[in-house]
Amino acid sequence: MPSEKEINEENLKMKRLRFIVDLTMNILYQQNLTMKESLELIIATKKSVLKLFPDKSETFDLIYLPRFYRVVKEKFLTGGNDGY
């Protein structure tokens, strides 16, 4: 059974994860980024998340990449942004 310290550390990592993902989503939605900048932001976000959870690359790809790509698709394929 995990110790209280381990549980607290895991909770802190989860809070950081949520913050990173929420911040990325907000930037993707609100900033006038080019497609390249958007994709670079997603790559940087994945690197940051993997520093917290090094063995969770596949989980990131399954859960967060589709969310990020949906925003990028909405902005660039529906004319929400003219930058490329």
Determine, yes or no, domain membership for 84.
no
Residue 83 counted as domain residue: no
What is the domain range of residue 48? 4-77
Q: Is residue 15 scored above 50 in pLDDT?
A: yes
Tell me whether residue 27 is in a domain: yes
> Could you give the number of structural domains in the chain?
1
74 exposed, middle or buried (CB, 10 Å; 0-12, 13-18, 19+)? middle
Predicted TM-score (pTM) of this structure: 0.86
Beta-carbon count within 10 A of 77 CB: 9
Q: What is the pLDDT of residue 82?
A: 53
Residue 50 lies in a domain: yes
Q: Are 23 and 64 in contact (CB under 8 A)?
A: no
33-81 pLDDT, tens digit each:
999 999 999 999 999 999 999 999 999 999 999 999 999 999 998 765 5
Distance CA 30, CA 49 (A): 21
Q: Is residue 82 part of a domain?
A: no
